[in-house]
Amino acid sequence: MVLAAGLGKRMRPITDTIPKPLVPVAGKTLLDWGLNALQAEGVERAVVNVHYLADLIEAHVASRQSPRITISDERTELLDSAGGIVNALPQLGEKPFYILNADTFWLDQQPSSLSRLAGLWDEARMDILLMLASMDDVTGHSGSTDFLIDGEGQLARAKDPAGLVYAGAGIVHPRIFAGAEATPHSLNAYFDRAITDGRLHGMVMRGRWITVGTPDAIAPAEATVAAWRQQAQ
């Protein structure tokens, strides 16, 4: 599930004419950074939700061969992160699935972060497994941290200098949405419920996480990608 329906207001004036997931950074749209990561893991189908300038996103993904894109249409009402997933559940099925934000991306050491998430996933112990980033490994993030992680990988909410940032990707089991309605609401409520139940886990990525929230964040993001590519040569 790729969450691509947001309004991108902080990216104006760029997003006056294109949706934020189609903003190009270092030669690729933000959306394609995420879809390419899924493709590299052999994901065959991705559900992409759309709302703002939805026609442009639909046209952009129509030419992709892998993953095959299914559109979840939110043109009539923006449903937020959890509502968007609940709305798409008939297309997602009953097995655990990746979730990705379409407006952030990351640069991986190997094995890839998505591969490591899949390897760590244990549905007997977990309802949600989040990818996290150390503050030393982020570009463009000006806020605080989100979570602390214990030795068993369980997460607790914390705005702590030693904490970690939610890096916009994870695995969720659809059972957490049992009884939920496709109305506007946030994934944060499900994170909190999983914390209470001891079933929110995390994995610290190895690489660089990049968030592009405003137009002036594009240049630092592209500089980070360039430096990463240079090191890889």
CATH number at residue 80: 3.90.550.10
149: β partners: 155
Rounded mean pLDDT, 180-195:
94
pLDDT of residue 197: 94
Fill in the amino acid letter for 45.
Answer: R
Q: Which domain holds residue 61?
A: 2-232
The rounded mean pLDDT for the chain is 93
Helix axes 30-40, 54-61, angle to 10 degrees: 40
Q: pLDDT band for position 166 (50/70/90)?
A: very high
Q: Three-state DSSP class for 132?
A: strand
Rounded mean pLDDT, 87-95:
94
210: β partners: 105, 139
Strands (E), the chain: 2-3, 24-25, 28-29, 45-50, 68-73, 97-101, 104-108, 128-134, 138-139, 147-149, 155-157, 164-172, 200-204, 207-211
Q: Where are the alpha helices (DSSP H) in 74-197?
A: 80-92, 113-120, 188-196
Q: Is the pLDDT of residue 160 over 90?
A: no
This prediction's pTM: 0.92
Rounded mean pLDDT, 204-232:
92
Domain tally for the chain?
A: 1
Q: pLDDT band for position 233 (50/70/90)?
A: low
What is the tens place of the pLDDT at every residue in 26-55? 999 999 999 999 999 999 999 999 999 999
Residue 151 · residue 221 · CB < 8 Å: no
* % of the chain with per-residue pLDDT over 70: 100
pLDDT of residue 162: 83
Specify whether the backbone of 18 is left (phi greater than 0), alpha (psi in -120 to 50) or beta.
beta
What is the tens place of the pLDDT at every residue in 95-137? 999 999 998 999 998 899 999 999 999 999 999 999 999 999 9
pLDDT of residue 157: 92
CA 46/CA 68 separation, integer angstroms: 6
